[in-house]
Amino acid sequence: MRYEELTGQVQARAQLPDRQAAERTVRATLETLAERIPGGLADHLAAQLPAGAAEPIRRVIASHEGSPEQRAHHRDHGERFGLTGFAGRIAWRIESTEEEAIREAMAFFEVLDSAVDPELMEKVYGALPHDIRGLLPEARAVQSGEAGTGNAEAGEAEGRGGAGG
């Protein structure tokens, strides 16, 4: 999928006013997702996306430079935050409310789900805590809930709650 096609689909699904708003949503959601999932998994996701969409993920991965121990930790573990933190970070990046951020992220995940290899998406979704998985397309959320890993659940403790707090 080309970057223009990806942003066009996000614009249509999220009912955004223009392409720039769709690009902000794509960038904000991918940056936040890259912070939440292990760096190695984020790197694999970036490899399957068009350059314009991969860039925000690679920027987050590069920001985790540090000691060899820090790099290894970020490669194997994402930051721990739940839906409230996820929505808050996206909202801050798109300069909107958490409710709008959730709506736009849901539209983005629908597009991402169709753009990336299903096996990789299972791994990405399996790395997310249950509350964030609620943003996924319905069929994928059910599949991930059945096959989810215990590692994702550990991240739910921080930032627990809905978008309203």
User: Using one digit for the tens of pLDDT, what is the confidence trace for 72-107?
Assistant: 656 666 788 899 999 999 999 999 999 999 999 999
pTM of structure: 0.80
* Cα separation, 134 vs 137, whole angstroms: 8
* Cα separation, 51 vs 97, whole angstroms: 28
By residue count, the chain amounts to 165
